[in-house]
Amino acid sequence: MGRYVIRRLLQMIPVFIGSTFLIFVMVYALGDPVAALFGDKAPDPATAARIRHELYLDQPLWKQYLHYMGQIFRGDFGTAFNGQKVTELLAGAYPVTLRLTLVAVVIELLVGITLGVVSGLRRGRSVDTSVLVLTLIVISVPTFVSGYVLQFLFGVKWDLIRPTVSPDAPFSELILPGVVLALVSLAYVTRLTRTSIAENVRADYVRTAVAKGLPRRRIITRHLLRNSLIPVVTFIGTDIGALMGGAIVTEKIFNIHGVGYQIYQGILRNNAPTVVGFVTILVIVFLLANLLVDLLYAVLDPRIRYA
Amino acid sequence: MTTIDKTAGLPEPRSGRDGGTPLLEVRDLHVEFHTRDGVAKAVNGVNYTVDAGETLAVLGESGSGKSVTAQAIMGILDMPPGKIPQGEILFRGEDMLAMSNEERRKIRGQKIAMIFQDALSALNPVLSVGYQLGEMFRVHQGLSKKQAKAKAVELMERVRIPAAKERVNDYPHQFSGGMRQRIMIAMALALDPDLIIADEPTTALDVTVQAQVMDLLAELQQEFNMGLILITHDLGVVADVADKIAVMYAGRIVETAPVHELYKRPAHPYTRGLLDSIPRLDQKGQELYAIKGLPPNLTRIPTGCAFNPRCPKAEDICRTETPVLHQVTEQGGGEIAGRGSACHFWKETIHG
């Protein structure tokens, strides 16, 4: 197990280097950061050249990348155009997005798995059909529609919550954004669980559990669910990465100052250090989430052993 | 209809009947499955009894209804599509089909236990065997986790799994086929049930292990004086262990007999066919007999005797009239205890 983890961590290094290099190239090569720094005004060529020299922008791209990576490993993610350290932005944004993701994942797990189990056990009956139709609707409606509609209904029309989230972003204000963020994945979790349950309910070991005279609740929670959750866990694991980076729309709607918001601002203003810094961390989050899923596999299914 | 009586000539069952009521009595049981292709009549009026300490072997090819009968007794039929339109299953004189779900659940595992064919798929792959064994004690007797684990080790020792203490936390896939089947047996034995139903317990095992597992089962049955229903299609397995045999075909019992009687002189052409299709050393080099044709489609069982399209002795009456289970008698007219045959020509078959 230990050796497996080490091997996986080592495998992350080339993935990390490759993906950050791609991001670096895309962000720096596809726009002129110095021009962006001056906004609408045309920069004085002498000043522009000086700034280019100070920011290593007159060096070839691969040298710039090496320089950037060297700084990252010393904990320096550079400075945004407004003079703020990128590390400060990271420290401000990541906890907020982490909380939002947590809310979304908890909702996905609780609601998604419950709905999936209920419909999976009653496959083909009316409960199952209505859950299927409902999830289909949820999957079809894009986030920016469901987000604005729910924000309008709960925040404006019925005045139940604040329509936007304050800078501190406490859990209580993140519930509705969490629901919006979770909606689509929730539908997938429901469908995955349903299929998995419906398939496993016919398994021989479930019949054995019935023959042992176990109560129905115990058969479902201990015998059926444990086997059926393996595909769901995979999905949730990869989804954590997607939720953390893909919250751009939700964070924009509810004015949450998280990762998605900062990346959005960074892209709009061609603010290269911010974008590259945030995405670099996202890459790490993705890689770790994947490793965690693989390790969780072994916990859920003892037939999988890593050596 | 006939019940199978105690076998004359064999040692008395170890505890015998409880005031005349058999341990288990199946009366005129019917099971059907409603499918898209029509109604499949899997069991069509089965009767049998099992006493404490007695072994009944139910013999038949795939689709003869032997497993479905067992599942109906156990209460683990998938309903729907399964349905029991008619019949009674009496356990110690009480009809289990009339009981509530909760009452039946308490009988399952505690009073009647089942051993399944393929232990690898019948055991839960993600739970340790210790957990699965201990679960019986935790659910039915309310023992703590620790006590249950100790009991699980005890059980594993009882079915002679080596190094039980070290292996109690292992998972099913870490055991060999024979050991897994022992764990299944241990699980069935856990709460000292009165009746064990073994559904082809050795089919998935290789021949050497088959004998070990059967011996173990027979030994434990004797030790705890349990009733045993042994479902199998393997005539070799039956001969050593069973007290009496019921042969099933297309959801009916076509012949019942004490075990050695059946081998000596079958009273039904189907049984005869089965016996003739066992390879024998003294017939080396000759072609092996096989029963022609295939078992009938259960949605369209032939009229009359279900076996008539495959029977070498079939005559017109076989195609029109369904034979009842006739009491089999000696040539002189003396009844042979426990023998019955559902064949119009049983006399010719046994004496001819």
Q: What is the DSSP letter of A182?
A: H
Q: What is the pLDDT of residue A190?
A: 92
* CB-based contact B25:B195 (threshold 8 Å): no
With the CA atoms of A165, A170, A172 and A178 taken in that order, what torsion angle do they form, in degrees rounded to the nearest 10? 70
Which two three-digit tokens encode residue A269?
């203003």
Please list, in sequence order, all residues whose beta carbon lies within 8 angstroms of the beta carbon of residue B253, skipping any fewer than 6 positions away.
B46, B47, B48, B246, B247, B325, B340, B342
List pLDDT tens digits, range B99-151.
888 888 888 888 999 998 888 889 999 999 999 999 999 988 888 999 999 99
Range A129-144 average pLDDT: 89
DSSP string across B218-276: HHHHHHHT-EEEEEES-HHHHHHH-SEEEEEETTEEEEEEEHHHHHHS-SSHHHHHHHH
Question: Into which CATH architecture does domain B1-102+227-280+288-352 fall?
Answer: 3-Layer(aba) Sandwich (3.40)
- pLDDT higher than threshold 50 for residue B7: no
Name the residue among A210, A215, A223 with its Cβ closest to that of B124. Answer: A223
CA of A243 vs chain B CAs: smallest distance (Å): 30
Question: pLDDT above 70 covers what percent of chain A?
Answer: 96
What's the confidence (pLDDT) of residue B4?
Answer: 52
pLDDT in tens, A214-242: 888 999 988 999 889 888 888 888 888 77
**pLDDT at site B14:** 42
Contacts of A199 (CB under 8 A, 6+ apart): A228
Q: Which among A276, A245, A277 has a CA at the least distance from the CA of A261?
A: A245
| Domain boundaries, given as residue ranges, for chain A | 2-73, 94-300
Residue B149 has a pLDDT of 92
List residues in chain B touching A: CB distance below 8 A.
74-76, 78, 105-110, 113-114, 116, 118, 121-128, 135-136, 139-140, 171, 173, 187
Q: Is the dihedral of CA A89, A94, A95, A99 positive or negative?
A: positive
SS3 helix, strand, coil % of chain B, rounded to 5?
Answer: 35, 25, 40
Q: Are B56 and B243 a contacting pair, CB within 8 Å?
A: yes
The pLDDT of residue B1 is 43
| Predicted structure pTM score | 0.79
Handedness of CA B217, B223, B224, B227 (dihedral sign): positive
Interchain pair A226, B187: CB under 8 A: no
Dihedrals phi, psi of B305, to nearest 5 degrees? -75, 125
On the question of pLDDT at B205 being above 90, the answer is no
pLDDT in tens, B234-261: 787 788 788 899 999 988 899 998 888 8
Q: CA–CA separation, A42 vs B95, rounded Å?
A: 95
Q: Is B86 helix (H, G, I), strand (E, B) or coil?
A: strand
B327-350 pLDDT, tens per residue? 888 877 777 778 888 888 887 888
Give B10's pLDDT tier (boundaries 50, 70, 90): very low
Tell me how close the Cα of A222 comes to any Cα of chain B, in angstroms.
9
Homologous superfamily (CATH) of A94-300 is MetI-like (1.10.3720.10)
Q: Check residue B340 and give its pLDDT.
A: 86
- What is the phi-psi region of residue A51: left when phi exceeds 0, alpha when psi lies from -120 to 50, beta otherwise? alpha
pLDDT value of residue B203? 78
C-alpha closest to that of B138 among A226, A225, A215, A208? A215
Would you say residue A293 has pLDDT above 80? yes
Share of chain A above pLDDT 90, in %: 11
Confidence of residue B275 (pLDDT cuts 50, 70, 90): confident
By the 8 A CB rule, do B130 and B153 touch?
A: yes
pLDDT for position B13 = 42
H and E: helices and strands count for chain B:
13, 12
Question: What digits encode the pLDDT tens for the residues A147-184?
Answer: 888 888 888 888 777 777 777 777 878 888 888 888 88
